[in-house]
Structure 1
Amino acid sequence: MQGLLPLKGQHHVSSLTANARENYQFYTKTLGLRLVKKTVNQDDTSVYHLFYADERGNPGTDITFFEIPNLGRTYPGTNSITSVSLRVASDESLQYWQQRFQLLEVDHDGITEINGRASIRFRDFEGQRLVLVSDENNTGVKGGTPWDKSPVPREHGILGLGPVTLTVSRPERTAKVLTQILGYQEKESFPSSTNRKDPVRVFETGEGGAGAAIYLEARSDLPRERPGRGSVHHVAFRVDNEEELKKWVQLITEKGYPNSGFVERYYFRSLYFREPNGILFELATDGPGFANDEDFEHLGESLALPPYFENQRQAIEAKLKPLDTGQE
């Protein structure tokens, strides 16, 4: 795309929660992810922003949450991100997870196949729509490294993000952005579990595989989703470095898409824009990462603030409900 390096796949997915404490318990104690950063929403420092990932928050392994207390329920619908996949090593791992979900009373379906991959659909305590997907026959973007202090055995630990499903009313508009702007290639399709008329279309970028795949589902029969707790706020795609991101800012602007311009997030640099169906896309750099302001052994234990917020720490902490995330 005009001298740009291809996007490298999913960077992170950010969602909404009404309860940071229960959210922390579910994603660390139930799913076994590591809280690699406890910080604040940089656009609204009165609320937490929690990052869960592999052992160090490698790009492509993060699922993050903004806490908005008293947030209402989600009314599912179209023009939204309707499921987020998390990769595990093997089909055998799904057997482990099915037993774990039964034991811990996690709302889940049975093991099924989605686009040729063994999978389990499940929901968190707020109805967040998630899928565990086996990496057994996967190629392409490599997964991360599960934390060795996770309650989940390392061989069954979550490796990172898999395919993200976009459900839209006008699929050609989103497909055009994916292929003509972002450089994705349409690879294949598979039957939809909710729409007998139109198959789910598969788009991949970079090295391809589950960690670089977007599923595009057409649903013109649904109302627009009304987001709430458990809904997905945006999906971010990996950009190699800051120089590349600045090129993307120029391209997106030249193509006429309203956008955020270059945004400093300290742990990475970003660009935000909405595709024509209204889904928020972010492009984010692979670095600097989460270990540049905390020791690796103690990631996520204390409230981390970028340097440009440090002079506001006392005021910021006063607005936040204490959240104990120290190692037990």
Structure 2
Amino acid sequence: MMKPLKGIHHVSALTANAEKNYDFYTKILGMRLVKKTVNQDDTSMYHLFYADERGNPGTDLTFFEIPNAGRTYQGTRSISQTALRVSTDEALHYWIDRFNKYQVKHEGIQNRYGRNVVDFIDFEGQRLQLISDERNIGVKGGVPWDQSPVPTDKGITGLGPVQLTVPRPEKLYKTLTEVLGFIETGRFQIEGHEVVVFSTGEGGTGAEVHVSGREDLPVERPGRGSVHHVAFRVENEEDLHKWVRHLESHGMMNSGFVERYYFRSVYFRESNGILFELATDGPGFEGDEPFETLGENLALPPYFEDQRESIESKLKPLTT
């Protein structure tokens, strides 16, 4: 019997402009850049991690920079929205004012699945949502950085539900429940289309996947403003190895164990093409930088240090 996944670990998306991306997520959204590093599968591109004060598991929204990335043509077979948690309903009113001030496109406060939310997009059309934790019971959020331009009581505390839009939802339901151990916990409607809620671990906003079945949409063509993958939390490396064997026992082709230095991972795709990752809660982001200066310099895992000069020569300087 596998231990339940603990919730959402991180979401990784695409940007075409690291500088504008940094400005939006730190100066407008008030998240902390806890790690400025590179894509370990392609060290010519930045990998930026925005999170709470120290990048606690479940708080990381990350971006790969691909300068020539085209626009996203939205559709199915996609991770179609990423939610970010705030502590209270009152905080959403603060954010409406802030979005208006900075001309961030948003849909105002709505009630969805018994929670107050604000749908909005970033400068590249990344589909995002703020979700209030005022009535949340489940996985706890993180701790906003006290040097953020956003007051700590209004700050983003971590990742909320991710929405997956797929043409064959029954196959995804099966993967979530029979392979990953999620349970169905509810249903609601968005613009006449049913969304099914699945939860894992302690449940709540930090441990939900929302699935929308849409056969009427074209397949998404990803680009800047799209999401690459979503990762779920595993306690430690020992449990991750068990998950690798568990995936194999269900006939799920996967990457096997992958060393990411800040955490350890396994990757696999479900039958609709959504890329999932299972990632360990540790070691975390303070193994190569002190808490006080997280994200200020280019951090490289030890196995890339001998390539630092070459790697830095291919990156456009990014002042953080």
TM-score norm. by structure 1 comes to: 0.97
Per the alignment, in what secondary structure is the counterpart of residue 154 of structure 1? coil
**Structure 2 CA distance for aligned equivalents of residues 278 and 40 of structure 1:** 25
Q: Distance in 2 between matches of 1:99 and 1:115?
A: 24
Q: CA RMSD in A?
A: 0.6
| Distance in 2 separating the partners of 1:140 and 1:83 | 21
Counterpart for residue 78 of structure 1: 76
Cα displacement (A) at 1:199 = 1.4
Question: What residue in structure 2 maps to residue 277 of structure 1?
Answer: 272
Q: Which residue of 1 aligns with 2:62?
A: 64
Identity of aligned residues (%): 68
Residues 242-257 of structure 1: matches in 2 within 5 Å?
A: 242-257=237-252
**Alpha-carbon distance in 2 for matches of 1:155, 1:70:** 38
In the other structure, the counterpart of 2:179 is 181
CA distance in 2, matches of 1:224, 1:277: 10
Q: Distance in 2 between matches of 1:248 and 1:289?
A: 20
Structure 2 distance, partners of 1:253, 1:306, is 29
Instruction: Please identify runs of 4+ aligned residues in structure 1 that moved more than 6 A.
Output: none
Deviation at 1:144, TM superposition (A): 0.1
Give the equivalent residue in structure 2 for 1:119: 117
**In 2, Cα distance between the equivalents of 1:314 and 1:321?**
13
Match of 1:150 among 148, 151, 169: 148
- Where 2:211 maps in the other structure, the secondary structure is strand
Do residues 107 (structure 1) and 105 (structure 2) align? yes
- Cα distance in 2, alignment partners of residues 97 and 192 from structure 1: 22
Matches within 5 A, 1:122-137: 122-137=120-135
SS at match of 1:145: coil
AA aligned to 1:302 is: N
**Equivalence for 2:53:** 55
* Offset, 1:143: 0.1
Equivalent position amino acid for 1:174 in 2: L
1:213 aligns with 2:208: yes
The residue type equivalent to 2:232 in the other structure is: F
Q: What secondary structure, in the 3-state scheme, does the structure 2 residue paired with 1:303 have? A: coil
Q: Which residue does the alignment assign to 2:307?
A: 312
CA distance in 1, matches of 2:184, 2:211: 10
User: Do the aligned partners of 1:192 and 1:217 also contact (CA within 8 Å) in 2?
Assistant: no
Count of aligned pairs between the two proteins? 320
Question: Which residue of 1 is the match for residue 159 of structure 2?
Answer: 161
Residue in structure 1 matching 2:229, options 214, 230, 234: 234
- Deviation of 1:192 (Å): 2.1
Q: Partner of 1:28: helix, strand, or coil? A: helix
Distance 1:5 1:257 in 2: 18
- Read off the aligned partner of 2:16 and give its amino acid letter: A
Amino acid at match of 1:35: L
What does the per-residue CA deviation read over 1:52-109, in whole Å, with 9 as the maximum and x for residues that have no partner? 0000000000000000001100000001000000000101000000000000111111
Deviation at residue 5 of structure 1 after TM alignment = 1.1
* Cα deviation code 1:110-154 (max 9, x no counterpart): 111111110100000000000000000001000000000000000
Which segments of 5 or more consecutive residues in structure 2 lack a partner in the other structure?
Answer: none
Structure 1 gap ranges (5+): none
The CA distance in 1 between the partners of 2:177 and 2:249, in whole Å, is: 16
Residue 33 of structure 1, CA deviation? 0.1
One-letter amino acid of the structure 2 residue matched with residue 211 of structure 1: G
Q: Which amino acid aligns with 1:245?
A: L
* 2:273 counterpart SS class: coil
